[in-house]
Amino acid sequence: MPGPLSHVRVLELSRVLAGPWAAQTLADLGADVIKVERPGAGDDTRAWGPPWAGEESAYFLSTNRGKRSITIDFERPEGQELVRKLAAQADVVIENFKVGGLVKYGLDYDSLKAINPGLVYCSITGFGQDGPYAKRAGYDFMIQGMGGLMSITGQPDTEAGGGPVKVGVAVTDVFTGLYATIGVLGALAHRDRTGEGQWVNLALLDVQVAVLANQAMNYLVGGKAPQRLGNAHPNIVPYQAFATLDGHIILAVGNDGQFAKFCQVAGRPELAQDPRYATNPARVANRKELVPILERLLEQRTSRDWLSALEAVGVPCGPINDVSQVFADPHVQARNIHQDLPHPTAGTVPTVASPIRYSATPIEHTVAPPTLGQHTDAVLGEALGLCAADIAALREKGVV
């Protein structure tokens, strides 16, 4: 069944993570995504291994599902012309070059808008198209630091192991890719009504500040910069990891009723009646007294015992799984999140399915991440009408 974006063609001029993540999401929704890569090298992440599936890095496989790959050297005039012709037929262009980096190739928004006024052109940079940092390169790790995320991630400075810690996944890049997808979809909706394309701009730093969410508002409303709390929550208590007799669990009490149920299971019902702990604001104010009491309670029973008893009464809780345990989880398996795709050189490669579930146009993953230049001949022939001799001549010159 065609996806909701099966009428959309995307020309991807991006590499690494944020741009490819946006393009992969659009491909999941059914768009025809043509990924333009450098001849002989391709996307930087093709070399970011081990581990490998055949000759493909796991990193590249994680963010290029459902695309077609063509190789074009657009530092050459002939290559630039090929990309312009493809852009003339595209609905969307996604690029993540430095500010102004595509102007010299005639592949910037103004140049492509002149030949395709309905084009939705999405640019992803570290710091945006203006401002004092606009010319700087931006990478997820440094943006996590500059954007405040590392100031609230990790143990407090006063505790063992304290200090700033980055998140274990490049979340700023991933969030930027998702915001880029949303921006593109909004621009396409506008174009459907007006026929007018537009330039969509995303900056990693803007996105990182935006996804500080309640922590940003805690500062803007309270006037005090949030600090690292380890696994604790700034606004809810108890909402953190606790050691048990044989491991750790997460206790995520979201309201006073759940706290009362926890106290009943823990054999300390009087805690829920104590005015110091009866309400969440009181528990937050008195966390230094309450948390040690809870720690002593939790460490007396096994993780399985706690999880079984708390789940039975509706208190949110859960284990702390490693990645192998995640994919072995029966619910994850039932949701068919791990899928295998046929691959032209590796036989099959695994993929992590899109979490989007449609009732009318269900997402089907059938196309593995492409090998470098796998679709060059097909796309140039189909989209631009080039014959085999034309493509061979371009390949002889190193243009494709």
Cα–Cα distance, 269 to 286 (Å, whole number): 18
Check if the beta carbon of residue 173 is closer than 8 Å to that of residue 148. no
Cβ neighbours around 70 below 10 Å, total: 26
Exposed/middle/buried for residue 305 (C-beta within 10 Å: 0-12, 13-18, 19+): middle
Cα–Cα distance, 277 to 292 (Å, whole number): 13
**What is the number of H-type helices and E-type strands within the chain?**
16, 13
Q: Angle at Cα 128 formed by Cα 124 and Cα 130, nearest 5°?
A: 145
Cα–Cα distance, 118 to 188 (Å, whole number): 9
Please pick, among 28, 43, 140, 173, the residue that the annotation labels catalytic. 173
Cα–Cα distance, 372 to 387 (Å, whole number): 21
The separation between CA 76 and the C-alpha centre of its own chain, rounded to angstroms, equals 33
Cβ neighbours around 196 below 10 Å, total: 12
Cα–Cα distance, 138 to 53 (Å, whole number): 29
Contacts (Cβ under 8 Å, ≥6 apart) of 208 = 143, 144, 146, 147, 148, 149, 172, 175
Q: Which residue has the tokens 């500059």?
A: 146
Cα–Cα distance, 137 to 42 (Å, whole number): 20
Backbone angles phi, psi at 77, to 5 degrees: -55, -40
Cα–Cα distance, 151 to 382 (Å, whole number): 51
Q: Angle at Cα 85 formed by Cα 179 and Cα 101, nearest 5°?
A: 50
Contacts (Cβ under 8 Å, ≥6 apart) of 284 = 235, 236, 237
Amino acid at 127: F
Backbone angles phi, psi at 319, to 5 degrees: -80, 170
Radius of gyration over every alpha carbon of the chain, rounded to an integer in angstroms: 25
Candidates 277, 191, 195, 207; CA nearest to 236 is: 277
> Catalytic annotation on 173?
yes
Residues recognised as catalytic: 173
